[in-house]
Amino acid sequence: MHNFEFIRPADQAAAIAAAAQSKTAQQGADVRFLGGGTTLIDLMKLNVETPARVLDINRLPLDKIEVTPDGGLKIGAMVRNSDVANHAKVQKDYSVLSQAILQGASAQIRNMATTAGNLLQRTRCIYFRDTAMACNKREPGSGCPAITGHNRTLAILGASEHCIATNPSDMCVALAALEATVHIQGPKGSRAVAFGDFHLLPGNTPHRETVLEPGDLITHLTLPAPISGSKQVYLKLRDRASYEFALASAAVVLTIASGKTTHARIALGGVGTKPWRSSEAEAALTGKPATEAIFRQAAEAALRDAKPQSENKFKIELARRCLIHALGMATAS
């Protein structure tokens, strides 16, 4: 691992001021916040991330889960993934989030990983993690060998000619379906970003993954008040039952009245370049009978724009079946 300076900022303002010196908050940033380190330290060992300064923010007071005045939930940036998954209100009112977290990584990693760190985990594309290979995300303008190489696990939605990497997070798929908001404090003050606007499509700047600017510290997430009586399911399909990323996953939040879907929030994982909210599937479900025939139409709509790569055409049908099955599980529960 290369040399770097390790700093423990005294407070939030000091952390933001130190990070604001960096020329970018994205890939290649020379200043990095450290959460649980399960992404950052991994990538530093591989020389994929080479920050000059690492700011340990673990002692900042951002580690609480609190109910908001409107009945929603506020989750601090430093709350560990396991603490979110096992929180009583999350399990009761936002169970899709608990299910998604518990199907990711391992118990040890979930105990270390933080809420903000999970939002900013990097792709598992093998070329990105190998500095001997070209990669537009790691080294802008160098090329994308995945397009003609190994791309079985990569994206079928949202890709560009410059990058086809999948966003690997499970937690973020649930947060997309729950319509979370990301709260950020930066050198110019605080702002709130709707979850769907936080991650960026690769376009011709795949190294820019989020709307974060230098100095921006994620302070917390908020979830809107739960929808009474909603059925929630996270279904993850992968090559092995644990310690593996999704080939396809679906987060489903549904309310049914008199046999019809009155409210649907749908997001897909393992298939998109960002956590993939499907307004097409939501529109296909809302106001319609909660039947398998309608679930099939919703799954068709969700994958209509999918563009497979040479090795991952199977993901289109896999993702369809994943969503149909998740909808079936939600309505059967």
Which residues of the shown chain bind ligand FAD in the complex (CB under 6 A)? Answer: 32-40, 42, 57, 77, 81, 104-105, 109, 112-114, 116-118, 120-121, 168-171, 217-218, 243, 245
d(CA 101, CA 82): 8
Tell whether residue 128 is a contact of ligand SF4 (CB under 6 A). yes
Considering CB distances under 5 to 8 angstroms, the limit depending on partner class, which of ligand FAD, ligand SF4, none binds residue 123? ligand SF4
Cα 288 to Cα 60, 117, 240, 255: the distances in Å are 47, 38, 35, 12
Tell whether residue 123 is a contact of ligand SF4 (CB under 6 A). yes
- Please provide the DSSP assignment of 72-101 as one string: -EEEETT-BHHHHHT-HHHHHH-HHHHHHH
**Nearest residue by C-beta to ligand FAD?**
117
Tell whether residue 145 is a contact of ligand SF4 (CB under 6 A). yes
Of 25, 97, 144, 284, the one binding ligand SF4 (CB under 6 A) is 144
d(CA 103, CA 106): 8
Cα 82 to Cα 14, 100, 172, 242, 251: the distances in Å are 28, 11, 15, 16, 19
Considering CB distances under 5 to 8 angstroms, the limit depending on partner class, which of ligand SF4, ligand FAD, none binds residue 226? none
* 3-state SS, residue 53: strand
Q: Are 271 and 306 in contact (CB under 8 A)?
A: yes
Conformation bin of residue 141: beta by default, left when phi > 0, alpha when psi is -120 to 50: left
In single-letter form, the type of residue at position 309 comes to: Q
Question: In sequence order, which residues have a C-beta less than 8 Å from that of residue 310 and are 6 or more positions away?
Answer: 148, 151
Considering CB distances under 5 to 8 angstroms, the limit depending on partner class, which of ligand SF4, ligand FAD, none binds residue 165? ligand SF4
Stretch that binds ligand SF4, among 92-100, 111-119, 123-131, 208-216 (CB under 6 A): 123-131
Q: Are 185 and 261 in contact (CB under 8 A)?
A: no
Compare residues 117 and 226 and give the one whose CB is closer to ligand FAD. Answer: 117
d(CA 236, CA 301): 20
Considering CB distances under 5 to 8 angstroms, the limit depending on partner class, which of ligand SF4, ligand FAD, none binds residue 206? ligand SF4
d(CA 157, CA 177): 17
Residue found by looking up tokens 């792709």 in the block: 123
Of 51, 72, 168, 206, the one binding ligand SF4 (CB under 6 A) is 206
Compare residues 78 and 164 and give the one whose CB is closer to ligand SF4. Answer: 164
Considering CB distances under 5 to 8 angstroms, the limit depending on partner class, which of ligand SF4, ligand FAD, none binds residue 117? ligand FAD
Containing 44, the helix (H) or strand (E) segment is: helix 40-45
Considering CB distances under 5 to 8 angstroms, the limit depending on partner class, which of ligand SF4, ligand FAD, none binds residue 36? ligand FAD
Tell whether residue 146 is a contact of ligand SF4 (CB under 6 A). yes
Tell whether residue 137 is a contact of ligand SF4 (CB under 6 A). yes
Considering CB distances under 5 to 8 angstroms, the limit depending on partner class, which of ligand FAD, ligand SF4, none binds residue 176? none
Query: Binding string, 232-271, against ligand SF4, x = CB under 6 A?
Result: ----------------------------------------
Token pair belonging to 162: 């410059």
Closest separation in Å from C-beta 29 to ligand SF4: 17
Considering CB distances under 5 to 8 angstroms, the limit depending on partner class, which of ligand SF4, ligand FAD, none binds residue 144? ligand SF4
d(CA 113, CA 130): 23
Distance, CA of 110 to chain centre: 14
Q: Which residues bind ligand SF4 (CB under 6 A)?
A: 123, 125, 127-128, 135-137, 144-146, 154, 163-165, 206
